[in-house]
Amino acid sequence: MKVEPAFNLRIFALHSYRDGMGESVDESVQISPASDGKAPRTARGERTLRKILDAAREEFGERGFSDSSIVAITQRAGVALGTFYTYFDSKEAVFQALVRDMSAQVRDHVAPAFKDAADAIDGERRALESFLLFARKHRDVYRIIDEAEFVEPDAYREHYETTATRIAARLKAARKQGEIASDLTDPDLDILAWALMGANVFLGLKFEVWSSADAKRVAEVTSRLLRQGLAE
């Protein structure tokens, strides 16, 4: 499921906790997207790594994995070929890092949407609207994530599993606070988390990648379904 702003280079391991809203937030564990043993040690190195990841996103997004090359990525980034190998072992390695990086960018873009939510379902509405706006601006995320199923299946699965885990954690916190039906079990909420994630992915595909719709309206209509289906 979108990447021009300067994002933190680090990929975060999943350690969910709840704030006052019941939002699931990832506790940052600093893990470099570079290949093992190749993490940058300076701020300048991190900036260079960011350039390579951004260039890889543009290259893979436009040309696809098979037709992309390390040379083309370095040309887009404005760095020497040897600099690429300072941080990544191969084209596959930078693609895997990019999938995880983009997954983290989606998460970080959506997270602030929960801040002023009235309740859990309102939070999901705000999160969906935020994601739709992200997908509109960064349509290449769909091509890259879809290709990951075949190029880097572990990263592909990790992307969706960690996303569903965050949604499930929010739903479980909402149940505890009495904001959704109390008879929904943990396995029930895991199912619903995957259902919500799937809906969000395809809403973004239909209304932001294939066309351009009013993100607020799409989120509001979807929220009606959630509120009627999840409320007591």
Contacts of 153 (CB under 8 A, 6+ apart): none
Dig out the tokens for 178 from the structure.
């009495």
113 burial (CB, 10 Å; 0-12 / 13-18 / 19+) is buried
- The pLDDT value recorded for residue 35 is 87
Going by the DSSP 8-state scheme, the letter that residue 231 receives in this structure is: -
Q: Report the C-alpha gap between 84 and 38 in whole angstroms.
A: 10
Q: Is residue 191 part of a domain?
A: yes
Give me the DSSP letters along 2-52. Answer: ---S---S-B----EEE-TT--EEEPP--B-SSPTT----SHHHHHHHHHH
- The pLDDT value recorded for residue 34 is 87
The pair phi, psi for residue 79, each rounded to 5°, is -125, 160
Q: Is residue 10 part of a domain?
A: no
Q: Which of 145, 47, 57 is nearest to 87 (CA)?
A: 47
User: With contact defined as beta carbons under 8 Å apart, do 204 and 132 qualify?
Assistant: yes
Q: Is residue 7 part of a domain?
A: no
Largest separation between any pair of C-alpha atoms in the chain: 60
pLDDT per residue as tens, the chain (232 positions): 333 332 223 222 223 323 333 433 444 445 788 888 888 999 999 999 999 999 999 999 999 999 999 999 999 999 999 999 999 999 999 999 999 999 999 999 999 999 999 999 999 999 999 999 999 999 998 999 999 999 999 999 999 999 999 999 999 999 999 999 999 999 999 999 999 999 999 999 999 999 999 999 999 999 999 888 755 5
Q: Is residue 85 part of a domain?
A: yes
Q: Report the C-alpha gap between 39 and 97 in whole angstroms.
A: 12
Give me the DSSP letters along 168-202. Answer: HHHHHHHHHTTSS-TT--HHHHHHHHHHHHHHHHH
Domain residues for the domain of 65 are 16-230
CATH number, domain with residue 107: 1.10.357.10
**Residues facing residue 18 across a β-bridge:** 24
Q: Report pTM.
A: 0.79
- The pLDDT value recorded for residue 229 is 76
- The pLDDT value recorded for residue 24 is 39
Which amino acid type is present at position 182?
S
Q: How many CB atoms lie within 10 A of CB 24?
A: 21
Q: What is the pLDDT of residues 20-59, one digit of tens each?
A: 334 334 444 457 888 888 889 999 999 999 999 999 999 9
Number of domains in the chain: 1
- The pLDDT value recorded for residue 223 is 94
- The pLDDT value recorded for residue 58 is 95
- The pLDDT value recorded for residue 232 is 52
Q: Is residue 11 part of a domain?
A: no
191 burial (CB, 10 Å; 0-12 / 13-18 / 19+) is middle
Q: Is residue 181 part of a domain?
A: yes
Q: Is residue 2 part of a domain?
A: no
Q: Is residue 8 part of a domain?
A: no
Question: Which sign does the torsion angle of CA 39, 45, 46, 52 carry?
Answer: negative
